[in-house]
Each structure stands twice: as structure tokens, then as C-alpha cells.
A and B are shown apart, each in its own frame.
Chain A
Amino acid sequence: MSEYVVELRGCTKTFPGVKALDNMQLAVKPGEILGLIGENGAGKSTLIKILTGVYHADKGEIYVNGEKKSFKNPNDSAAAGIACVYQELNIEKLLSVTDNIFINKWIKGAGKLLNYREMHKKAKEIMASLGQEVDPSKPAGNFGMGVQQMIEIAKAVLIDAKMIIMDEPTSSLGEKEVEQLMQTCRALRDRGVGIVFVSHKLEELFELCDRVTVIRDGKYIDTRDIKDWDNDSLIAAMVGRTLDNMYPKVIAERGECVLKAENVTEEGVIKDVSFEAYAGEVLGFAGLVGAGRTETMRAIFGADPIDSGKVYIHGKEVHIKSPAQAIKNGIAFLTEDRKGQGLVLAQSVRNNLILSNMKGFSSGMFLDNKKIESRANENISALKIKTPNADERVGQLSGGNQQKVVIGKWINTDCDIFIFDEPTRGIDVGAKIEVYNIINSLVKEGKCVIMVSSELPEILGMSDRVIVMRDGRIAGTTVRGSKSFNQESIMRAAWGGNIDE
């Protein structure tokens, strides 16, 4: 009998162009809560998906109770006793709690009909054992997020899971619900279930976990008992000390304050966000995924309504209610989801390039095709967009070239404040450097660039100043050249500490 309930050894998983996991390992003992942490993109999601049979590892073995297993699909993994509560819950809100728990595991009575009496009884029992006194015949959507999460855990209990993975389970819960969840976790542990607890909040790990495993860049870093970790050692392990110099940073002359946000609040999303952005400056926004960076930018751009707060552009207060008004005020917003929100994929490169400024490319009532043609060709050569011609559908281009079309779309406006949200996500290194060069030329022209990025090296490599967000608020600010302008300090602020410690 192995010491571990589930053990993963030597696991490697490659996606086109990226090695997501490299010789990864993970071992969970029965009756323990193992914390799993890593930066954005460290490979946590891939690791979880391999354990649950969603992905297939290129190399490596999985052992359950010392027995070698091969998971062809999620059913194999579930049959072996591995369950996962994903961050995005898989709850059918209109169906009852019972229906959700017993989905595909129905208890059938006489004549193959569903035996609801039995299922309701069992559902009530399981939920009660998780500390939830609920009527299981009510629709799941009637209950709060905490109970819905318990329904997911109940599914795991129903299949008698030996290991339950919880992927950032507290991210959408209130304080009371978090406390309840922790109690449930401890109860499950005491019943001998192994729990993998993925979290972005260090204090939760210290409160709950028995051991913590740190991964970074798809590699296993270290596992220690919780008493052998502290805040600094965890952060140092997560961040590592690699900062390769691929950032062609150019320091431009800082001009006047072009954008000022004052206590911008969107209830439940961002709270009292205040900052200033200057011409000729790259202002980086760091933080964990879900810290409210994108939401802040959407609020300023008028994509989502704000509840309170003021925004000033060039010192004048503005009331931006729509993206159209934001653009009139000179704000350009390059969304993080370029396929969903940045481009019309079925349309030509040419059409996408003029999308934000059709008026500027019209003479009188009609579009000025000559002007569009020459500008499109200008954009294609200046931004090095690799496309057969301006009539190619944008959907046919590679990710990096699509991103350049998005950039071109905004350069073709009269905007002077450029918000880049994850500008280099999913594009190759060569294209990344080209994007950095474009950012450089923008600030050299005296434009203001705000860059939201989850890649710390990129933030540090390109920004003049960095604002760190956490839980919808600003958690700290640091300026290039200062003592706190490093990965450790920024991570500390992002994870709930003080940036200037």
C-alpha cells in the first residue's frame, strides 16, 4: 500500500508552442489537505485537468493507492475516485439539488423509473453531512454560491471520492461561507479523503493546509509541511529568480496627467480605485487573475457602468457612459479577449482596421475606399502584419498578427490613452517584442499607455510605474528604480501583503 492516495510522477504536457507541464509531480496523502499554489500560468489548470482525465499527459504516470492508472477521459478518473470542484461551478440552476447531485448517477426503482423519494432522502443526508440543512427538491439556483459549491462537493462524496481537488473554491464566497467550506474540508479530511486546495490567498493556506506544494513555469518546485513555510519563502518559491532581458524598454519624457480616476467603484467588482496616468508613461497594472484589473479598465472605458467615482481626462471631469464616448475622449481599449471582443473575425483585415474610426475614413456620406486602402497598407507594413493582403479575413491570421490588427485599429483613431489588456497573451516571442516596440513608439510620441498584464517579467520590463490590485482594490504602487520595483514586492502586494515590507 502506498503512502499516497494519488500520486503523479514525471508528468509532461506540451501544447503547440508551449510546454505547460515539465516533469511535474504531485503526491496527496489520504486524510490531508494539500495546498497547491503557483503564479498565473504556472500550470495549475493543466495539472488539474490531467488528474481529472480531461487532458492526456504526453509522459508520466498516475498512481491511485499505489496502483498505476491511465485516464482516457473524465469518467475513468471519477471511477478511480478523483473528483474536482472547478472554480466555475457546473450547476444546473433550474434543476433541483437532488437532480444536480444525482446527475448520471440516478437511483432507479421499479420499471426503471427514477426513484425520487430515495434520491431526495440520500441528497438530504449528504448535504447534512456537509453542514447544509436544505430542502433538496428546491432548484439549486435558489441557494447561494456557498450551497451550490457544497452541491459540487456532494457529488464527490456520492461517488465516494478518495481525492477532491478544489480549484480556487473561495474566490466567489463570502467570509461566512469560506468558514463553512473550511469546516467541511476538515471534516472530509478526518474521514480520510485527500484534498488538493488551490488558492490565491496565502492566509487560507496557512489556516487550512497540512502541506503546501509550489509549482512555477510548469515545473514542480517544492513541497513542505505548512510549519516549514512562511509568506516570504512561499512567494520566493513561486516567483523564482529568472528575469530574462527581452524587454526593449525605452524611457520617454513624462508629460502631464492625462487620465485620473478618483474612487471609481462598481459594487461587488471594484472598490475606490484611484490612480493617475501620465503622457509618455507606461503604467503597469499587476495582480492576480480576478483582482479587478480588467474590470477597472472596462469601467473607465464605459463598457460597464460605474456606481460612483470620478474620471478626469486632461484635468477635466468626464462622464463616460459608452465606449463611443470614451473614444471621443481619446481612450483606446485593447481588450484581453481579442477574438471575442476585439475583432470581427469573419470580416477583412481592412474592415477591422477602420472599425473604431469609420467617420474618420468617410468623406461626406460615403466611406473613402482610397483612404482606407492606403491606410490599411500603411498599417500592414508599419505593424508588420503578416497577411496576404488587406482583404484576408482576420480569422485566418495567427494570434500575433490578429493582435497587431487590434493595435492598428486603435492607432487609426485619434486616441492618446492606450489601455492594453494582456497585450501579449497567446502570441509568440517574436510578436511579443514587436508589440513592446509599438508600445515604446506610442510613449515616445507622448501617448499614455496603461498595460494590464499577468506576466510579472513583462510588467517589470515595460512599465515606468506599477499599480498592484487585489480583491477589486488598489493594493500598492511602485515606481521603476525604487526598492519595491521587483517581483517579490509586487507578488506580496498581490497576495495580500504590504508592497514596502
Chain B
Amino acid sequence: MSKVKNSGIGAYIGTIGALVILCVLWTVLNSNFISPSNIMSVFKQTSFNALLSIGMLFCLITAGIDLSVGANATFCACLMGMLVKGGTTNPVILAIVALVAGTAIGLINGLLLTRLHLPHPFVSTLGMKNFLWGLALIVTGSQMISFTDAPGIMWLGNATVGGFPVSFIFVLVICVVLHILLTRTALGRSIYCAGGNMEATRLSGINSANVLTFCYVLSGLLAGLAGIVSVGRSGTCNGANAIQTYDTDAIAACVIGGASFMGGKGTIVGAMLGALIIAVLRNGFALLAVNSAVQNCVLGLVIIGAVLLDVMRENMQAKARRKQAAAQ
């Protein structure tokens, strides 16, 4: 067993190293970076992307994708905004509406894939993204809506405990639960196996259609949660946000953390590290007042670099295995 754990941490050493180097670099360039308040704000900024990334991770492991996570989160926020505008400010009702809506959208994504047998979810979730963008604008009348009348629902996104953002604690709890689900339960094992070889998994008696549906439902639920976090952070909702790069940021986090578009790979820890790297990057750029065009360039290069490193690592491992086999 110890061997497994070693190789497990070994797989993250590169990612952790990159994160540490990045933090050191920012600190050298601007000492404000390492201040407790800034670190807490990095955590706060991470929460939203982390939630979307975790949902995305489940879809990526099954060799799928969910391009509607960002639009889903925005739509859920706008749905709450519509209710707030109409006078409903009870945080429980608002939260339930957001979570149910997000989950239902995930379920539709899952059913389109597994029951109506649409081809790769790239297309169906892209369609869903556009649909939700439009719907978000419709429910808000294309207006930004302020949540000042409903402070309760903003608690998750802006409250802190001893300076530590509640939203990030929430994310960590979800990470632990889902990490256990992925690594210790039959469902988790089925998700990896379905991603590795869908047909073999089905012929092994696993209902792979339901396994896939679960992943999209979970992705939708987490997007609903991210929607709640977002209104807390910004105090508003804005339908136009549906076409922000939230989806690609989530994909980037997963890929930086070792997930693959081919499926069967990726971990919660990796996706979290990826989300942290992206948050630290963006935070540092903001501190150094780097122009946003340059930010985009660098983030793009980081994504390409992460995949390149992953491919190189795979090749090296395969080569080492061949050598080992030849030596035997």
C-alpha cells in the first residue's frame, strides 16, 4: 500500500513545486502578496473556480466535458436575483432554488448524453451554455441585480471565520467528501473505469449510463453552489457573466492538476492545486497591475505547458517501464 501512496504524492510534486515557485516569485516582486489578508483573498477567489473545477473533473474523468458549468452558475445566480427583485429574500428558499436549478440542468446534460445518445458532450453542453446565457439575461431583464436586500444568501460567499473565508472551508469539506467518493467507493472506481474503457465497464455489469449521468448531475449541483458563492462575493448577479471564461478556467485547473481529455485520469487534489495556481496567478497579476491581455497570454501558456509536461512525464514513465521490462 505504501508504494501507492508514494507514487500518489509523487504525481503532485511538479504541481506543488510550480505553486510554491509562483508564490515565491510573487512575494519577491510584491511583498504584499504574502500578507495574511491577501492570502485569504486568494482563497476566496479560488472557491468559485474550485467548485466548477471539481464538477468538471468528474466529467473529464469519464472522457466527457461540461462546458455549461460557468453559464449554469451564472444562471443560478440570476434566478436568485429574479426572486430577490420580486421580494423573496429568505436565504434557504434562494439556496434551494439555486441548487435545484443547477442540479436539474446537470441532469438534463447527463440525460442528453446517456438517454438520447447525443455524441460527445462537447456539443450538447456547449448548446446548454448558450441556452443558459440567454435564459440568464431573460430572467434578469438583462439588468445587473443587487443582493443588498438579501444579505443572508451572501453569507456563504463573503463571510469569514477568524479571517478564513467560509466559502473556502466549504470547498475543502466538499473536496474531502468527493475525494473519498472517488477513491474509496465502488461508484468512484466505476467513474475511472468508465472513463478508461466505457464498453468494458458496461460489459462488466456496471450501469455506465447512470455513472455518467451522476457526474453531470454533480457538476450541475456544484455549479449551483458556485452561483451562490458568486453572489456573496460580488453582491450582484449579471447574466452577461455567462460567457466569461469560467468553463475554460475550470478545464485548465483540472488539466494542470493532471486530468486528461482522454478520460480515466485526474484527482480532486490535482484539480484543487490547479485551481489554486490559477487563483494565485490572477491575484499576483492584479497586485502587479499587469494588463489583462498579458494575463490571458500567460494563463494560456501555463495550460499548454501543463499538458506538455504531462505528456512528457507519461512518455518517460513508459520508457522506464520498457527498459525495466527489457532488463528482466
Question: Residues of A at under 8 Å CB distance from B?
Answer: 301, 303, 322-324, 326-328, 333, 335, 340-347, 351, 354-359, 361-362, 365-367, 369, 373, 389, 391, 396, 409, 413
Contacts and interface: CB of A to CB of B under 8 A. Distances in A.
B205 A343 contact: no
B196 A355 contact: no
Contact of B193 (A344, A359, A389): A344
B196 A344 contact: yes
Given A326-B205, A347-B264, A359 B200 contact: no
A362 to B, nearest CB: 5
A351 B193 contact: yes
Interface string B161-200: 0000000000000000000100011100110110011011
B265 A342 contact: no
A340 B199 contact: yes
A355 B264 contact: no
B204 A323 contact: yes
Given A303-B202, A347-B193, A366-B184, 6 more contacts: A322-B205, A322-B207, A346-B264, A351-B189, A365-B185, A373-B1
B190 A344 contact: no
Contacts of B202: 303, 322-323
A356 B264 CA distance: 17
A303 B1 CA distance: 36
B203 A303 contact: yes
A351 B188 CA distance: 11
A333 B206 CA distance: 13
B323 interface: no
A421 B325 CA distance: 29
Interface residues of B, number: 26
6 contacts: A340-B200, A343-B197, A345-B196, A351-B192, A355-B204, A367-B186
B49 to A, nearest CB: 27
Contacts of B293: none
The 8 closest A-B pairs by CB, nearest first: A358-B186, A344-B196, A327-B205, A324-B205, A356-B204, A355-B204, A344-B197, A344-B193
A322 B200 CA distance: 13
B201 to A, nearest CB: 7
B301 interface: no
A358 B196 contact: no
B205 A323 contact: yes
A486 B321 CA distance: 46
Nearest to A362: B186
B4 interface: yes
Contacts of A342: 200, 203
Nearest to B264: A346
Contacts of A346: 196, 264-265
A343 B200 contact: yes
Contacts of A409: 204
Contacts of A345: 196-197
Given A340-B199, A346-B196, A358 B189 contact: yes
B205 A356 contact: yes
A345 B204 CA distance: 14
A351 B193 CA distance: 8
Contacts of B205: 322-324, 326-328, 356-357, 413
A284 B1 CA distance: 42
Contact of A324 (B184, B197, B206, B321): B206
Contacts of A356: 204-205
A328 B207 CA distance: 13
A320 to B, nearest CB: 11
B258 to A, nearest CB: 13
A328 B264 CA distance: 26
B184 A344 contact: no
Contacts of A369: 1, 184
Nearest to A325: B205
Contacts of B207: 322, 324
Q: A344, A362, A396: which has the most chain B beta carbons within 10 Å?
A: A344
B189 A341 contact: no
Contacts of A367: 184-186, 189
Contact of B4 (A333, A354, A391, A413): A391
A472 B248 CA distance: 50
Contacts of A343: 197, 200
Contacts of B192: 344, 347, 351
Given A347-B193, A347-B264, A391-B4, A341 B199 contact: yes
Interface in B281-328: 321, 325
A217 to B, nearest CB: 31
Contacts of B196: 344-347
A30 B265 CA distance: 57
B305 to A, nearest CB: 23
A316 B202 CA distance: 25
Nearest to A333: B203
Q: B4, B180, B204, B265: which has the most chain A beta carbons within 10 Å?
A: B204
Nearest to B317: A393
Contacts of A396: 321, 325
A147 to B, nearest CB: 28
A335 B193 contact: no
Contacts of A366: 180, 184-185
Contacts of B190: 358
Nearest to B3: A391
A196 B1 CA distance: 59
Contacts of A344: 192-193, 196-197, 200-201, 264
